[in-house]
A and B are shown apart, each in its own frame.
Chain A
Amino acid sequence: MAREGQYCTFFVRGLFLGLEVTCIQEVIRAQPLTVVPLTSNVIAGLMNLRGQIVTAIDLRHRLGLPAREPHERPLNVVVRTNDGAVSLLVDEIGDVIEVDGEAFERPPDTLSDEARELIRGAYKLKGRLLLVLDPVRTVDADSGN
């Protein structure tokens, strides 16, 4: 799984996360969301992306992290999937960076359950770790309830 390549990076509550750039459709600012009742809080809502209705998944909840403060405006990382686009809500967006396959390591066993399911591993970059998300599993949030 450790491949060299470009990663789109972003931050969620201090975590430095990345997704392969090839699966990212676009990154956009916060959009008005329509709340979907009777679903778990992982589903942040629905948004209108140029006429397409896109489900937004809150990565904070997806990763089992505490909720965002009301004044914090998330960004949308729109991911292409086989079932259309899905947006991931993140706190901040980082650069697109190139990584070296050598620097990859599998995640430690001590990660929380939610995180272990989603994180493929880490790239040891200079001064920090880039956690690589599994795009398929990340968007495969259960609607809950």
Chain B
Amino acid sequence: MDDVVREFLGESRENCDQIDLDLVALEKNPDDSGVVARIFRAIHTIKGTCGFLGFGRLEAVSHAAENVLSALRDEEIAPTPELTTTLLAFVDVARELLDRIDSTGQEGEGDNSQLVAQLTALVRPAGAPAGDGHAAPADDPPAPAAPPPAPVMVAVEVAPPALVAPLPAIVVPAVIAPAPAAHAPPAETAESSIRVDVSLLDKLMNLVGELVLARNQIVQFTGGNGDATFIGAAQQLNLITSELQEGVMKTRMQPIGNIWHKFPRVVRDLALSCDKRVELVMEGESTELDKTLIEAIKDPLTHLVRNAVDHGIETPDRRATAGKSPQGRLLLRAYHEGGQVNIEVVDDGAGLDAERIRDKAIERGIITADQGARMSERELFRLVFLPGFSTAAKVTNVSGRGVGMDVVRTNIERIGGTIELAGKRGVGSTIKIKIPLTLAILPALVVSCGDNRYAIPQASLLELVRLAGDEARDGVEMLYGTPVYRLRNKLLTLVYLSDALDQAVPRDPDEVNIIVLQADDRQFGLVVDAVHDTEEIVVKPLGKHLKSVPVFAGATIMGDGRVALILDILGVAKRARVVAEGQQRGRIDQVVTAGLVERDDLQTLLVFRGPHDGRMAIPLSRVARLEEFPRNIVERVGEELLVQYRGEIMPVLELSALLVERRPALHTTPAAAWPETVQVVVFSHNGLHVGLIVEQILDIVEDSLSNPRPPGRPGVLASVVIAGRVTELLDVEAVLRRAQPGAAWNEVADLVLTGEEVARGA
């Protein structure tokens, strides 16, 4: 494609963006003649260049739009929402045509006469006599063109008649002179900056990456070399390279405002279509981040903004009822913090309704009613990011299909960011996104496994643990076939990198290197053969052959020139099943287990000895009473054990019978084998009591339940370390369900009767 055309495309797109912004600004502030003049100039520039390049369709619509602006400027007409909408429609058409020119080099066939008619109608409201006799749809722009240009041009320059007149027959030589003039206005503002091809910047970035590698190599080399001059030069090189790297990175930085500028338009259109009034406030538009990141967050952010308008902010009358100003406020804020960019989307709308999320989640079978009851607000909010989840009461064409938030989350996480949701019912909601400044160069820890080296992004790194000698031999314990390590008395699941990568590497029994990593909400320990240095690595994408291997995030070239793969920690965790795979069930378990961790931090637990000397715990809040019964008052009726307790018949359960998986042979302990007294934990369940016979009640402790390990068998929620011992958290609900499957339980509830009948019922 011609350079002139390419430049025209770039410039016109910028003009379109500016017109978008200005039109929305104009609507807010209709008296601002400066804005009108700016829109006018922008449209005029598009029109002029089109004429020069022979894009007749675009020129025709631009011309009609220009007429509207000229009438506006001369105060012949006043801005109305309808006018703004029509002009915005013009911008859309213009963009479409630009895109088509970009892809095919031509405008293609098509008819914009309707838009032209609409635009023309704005200038001459229906009924008013059309001065030039061409009232109607026109692929005939020159005619109505004639009157306006003369006054129009004041602000620009002298040549317009020449520009406008010769358009259908492109008489190139005649037009050449005015064309540069049309380019002139933007050029004035652009003196201090130049347009550079992105691919050139990418290339520079690549070269700097190489330089960083070469620098690393030299710095490594200096380590074993004593020459002072050489060391001095190497240090100098080091400094300059770092500075150069920083500088080149900056060239790729763009203000986030570049993607925000389309939001006023988005918000306006959307608010209009759902009869809402929304004021969009943007703070920190000049916050800069890497161009690739800007591109990556564009869609997620748009989604969040649309979401906020569509079902965050309420309609004016509902807002009035709630005592808020009828106009909703949507705030976009961006700022740098700790080497990251924070972006917030804040609305003062209806906020998040934790109850509704809970109900919806239960209704969809994502969580059970019981899980729902136990989840904190924050955990419930997190459910919104699950696939297929939407709390919108009705599906609109804007949002509510439930495909959005999980995609948003995935996209944000793909670029190493995090997203969090907070809010209060009736007050509004806040979405916080944190993303890294750049992706191209990142600090990483280099480890090896067998003969290969791998880089682990430092962002997911928590700590390093090295076990040697006896510690190495005894430190790693097995829990149901899974290796675990007690890290400060909390169980850490271990994953051997060689296993995760299917590499047969002999393990050194005298040394265990554990890298504690964070993946999603879980921590796990990655066991590697050796830990090397941390290095700044340049991330290079993998070829298409390897894209499908999810455990690798990319590759890099090490100081010695060899290639090392970068591990995708989440991918490794998924492969090792530390973090459940994508399916919903897994995600939920994870949310729920993570919830266990977070809930109020400390929980009071009843610790008891279960069957076969195993330690188990129950949240104390679930326990109604602790009882000790003489052996002989426990009566066996059919398959059930019953106790007369406080005037009712209470079924009692034996833990060993419920957790049969462990040793199927020991199905039920004969009552005769019991000690003189049995210790029973009494639960209250649907107004009835159920007893659970335990071996021995040991203690009541407070614990944060951190680092839970997924359960090894049904009936257990998780394994944790409590007071220095691995303890299984009993899933009380599951146990009660198992004890009283379905109907039988209800019958027991309905008939408060004799043991015989209960037995028959069961």
Contact = CB atoms under 8 A, between A and B. Distances in A.
A51 B210 contact: yes
Interface string B498-535: 00011100000000000000000000000000000000
Given A38-B501, A51-B557, A46 B565 contact: yes
A142 B549 CA distance: 11
Contacts of B557: 48, 51, 53
B546 A39 contact: yes
Contacts of B542: 46, 53, 55
A143 B548 contact: yes
A94 to B, nearest CB: 26
Interface in B526-563: 540, 542-549, 551-552, 555, 557, 561-563
Interface in A107-129: none
B206 interface: yes
B621 interface: no
B547 to A, nearest CB: 8
Contact of B213 (A32, A51, A57, A83): A51
B193 interface: no
Contacts, number: 70
B452 A34 contact: yes
A34 B564 contact: yes
A84 B555 CA distance: 15
Contacts of A48: 557, 561-563
Question: Chain A: interface residue count, which band?
Answer: 20 to 34
Contact of A38 (B451, B502, B547, B561): B502
B562 A53 contact: no
B543 A55 contact: yes
Contacts of B452: 34-35, 37
A43 B545 contact: yes
B549 A46 contact: no
Contact of B545 (A35, A37, A57): A57
A38 B447 CA distance: 18
Interface in A89-137: none
A47 to B, nearest CB: 6
A54 interface: yes
Contact of B562 (A32, A36, A37): A32
A38 B551 contact: yes
Contacts of A53: 540, 542-543, 555, 557, 563
A131 to B, nearest CB: 23
A55 B546 contact: yes
Contacts of B544: 83
Interface string A25-58: 0000000111111110001011110011111010
A15 interface: no
A46 B210 contact: no
24 contacts: A33-B563, A34-B452, A34-B564, A35-B452, A37-B501, A38-B501, A38-B549, A39-B545, A39-B549, A43-B546, A46-B542, A46-B546, A46-B563, A48-B561, A48-B562, A51-B557, A53-B543, A55-B542, A57-B545, A83-B544, A143-B545, A143-B546, A143-B548, A145-B549
Interface of A: 32-39, 43, 45-48, 51-55, 57, 83-84, 86, 141-143, 145
Interface of B: 206, 209-210, 213, 451-452, 501-503, 540, 542-549, 551-552, 555, 557, 561-565
Given A46-B565, A53-B542, A86-B543, 4 more contacts: A36-B565, A46-B546, A48-B557, A52-B540
